Amino acid sequence: MYTLLMASTFIFPKDFIWGTATSSYQTEGNITNNDWYEWEQNKKPDEEFPKEHCGIACDSYNRYEEDFDLAVKLNNNSIRISVEWARIQPSEDTFDQNEIEHYKKVLKAAKSRNLKTFVTLHHFTNPLWFSKKSGWANLRAPSHFEKYAKKCAEEFGDLIDVYLTINEPDVFAFQAYVKGIWPPNKEDLFLPMMIQTNMARAHIKAYKAIKSVGDYPVGVVKNIVWFEPAPGKYRFFDNIVSKVLYYVNDDLFLKPMSKYMDLIGLNYYFTTRLKKLLLNNVDDVQSDLGWWVNPAGLEKVLLKLKRYNLPIYITENGVADQIDRIRIKFIKDMLGSTARAMKQGVNVKGYFYWSLLDNYEWHQGYWPKFGLVYVDRNHNLERIPRESFYYYADICVNGRIEV
């Protein structure tokens, strides 16, 4: 149970999960057999995205122990990482035992530092062999993913404390199949529903496959944007639109899968204003990416998720802030919103800040800086903690926040 002191300080439960998050392609470096690498190599001069190649990233494939040491200095008790499907299964019929052994070393390094491991099996990137078979548009995609997930469970077992099958299926479908700015660069109004349906089926198959190996906790990671109706005479209609958007983006995916989840992973970054039936950014606190930083939206999303009666882990929550101008306040306010939701009965079990390191931010390249740790790309990828690093470290060790 949580404790409230003097009506202003919220004390989190002693077993609350405090962590930071990364993903394989964004940090490991030199992954060359997936669809993102191929896309980067084939960029045409007149195309805006991707802005940069990933390349060596943060070299975390070799420097993971250094990264885990930073997590320990942050007083984290957990770390969220991902394993790269293309490394583990480089062809449809082949698993690479050398890469599997590498990831075992990574997981053991985390465990030896008393870090619980939350591991994502699919974080946006796909093996080339899979993408050549039409990727997630192929009706056999869920079965391919099931085979991979089962192999991970068989090989890694309880080296993984929590299995997270798929990261942000809605974001993947939108960026890759609506906007067409991620591979495979399609612009189609109908494919995204098929993609998300296949990903939902893949999660269910993976859930059952992992459970057939061992009774490991399994969840999915969902990005949720809060849609806030603007004040004014259109608010009634904007409110209706916001409810429809929430249902299409979230409930439509989560409801059918809820009995195949032991937990919900929530990624929350921003709120979007609805004004006169249109999406509008507001002139408020914004990140370097122009996202509306709205902690109240996190509280509202958590209260919405309460209906599922499942443990909730905030698996990503962060801000692009190159000079660390708002990150400390961002963390304080977001955790304050989390505390308020917990006081209202929401079963939030943990919080992961995104990200431990400045890393490769997909089509945007390296310019958005989400890290608690600055990575100097001109000087051997030196890791330099920002001021916000020490602020978050203090929260993690004391387990309390002013609300």
Active-site residues: which are they?
Answer: 316
CA-to-CA distance for 252 and 108, rounded, in angstroms?
Answer: 37
DSSP alpha helix (H) spans, 157-259: 169-177, 191-213, 235-246, 252-257
Sign (positive or negative) of CA dihedral 339, 68, 125, 310: negative
CA-to-CA distance for 278 and 261, rounded, in angstroms?
Answer: 34
Q: DSSP secondary-structure letter at 23? A: -
Closest CA to 121 of 88, 154, 98: 88
Closest CA to 64 of 377, 381, 351: 381
DSSP alpha helix (H) spans, 214-322: 235-246, 252-257, 295-305
Q: Is 114 left (phi over 0), alpha (psi -120 to 50) or beta?
A: left
Q: Note whether 141 and 202 are within 8 A (CB).
A: yes
Q: What angle do CA 237, 242, 247 make, to 5 degrees?
A: 130
Closest CA to 150 of 4, 181, 142, 231: 142
**Spatial CB neighbours of 110, under 8 Å, sequence gap ≥ 6:** 68, 79, 81, 117
Helix (H, G, I), strand (E, B) or coil at 399: coil
CA-to-CA distance for 24 and 39, rounded, in angstroms?
Answer: 17
Q: What angle do CA 75, 101, 69 make, to 5 degrees?
A: 20
Query: How far is residue 53 from each of residues 48, 191, 212, 360, 364, measured CA to CA in Å?
Result: 12, 27, 39, 9, 10
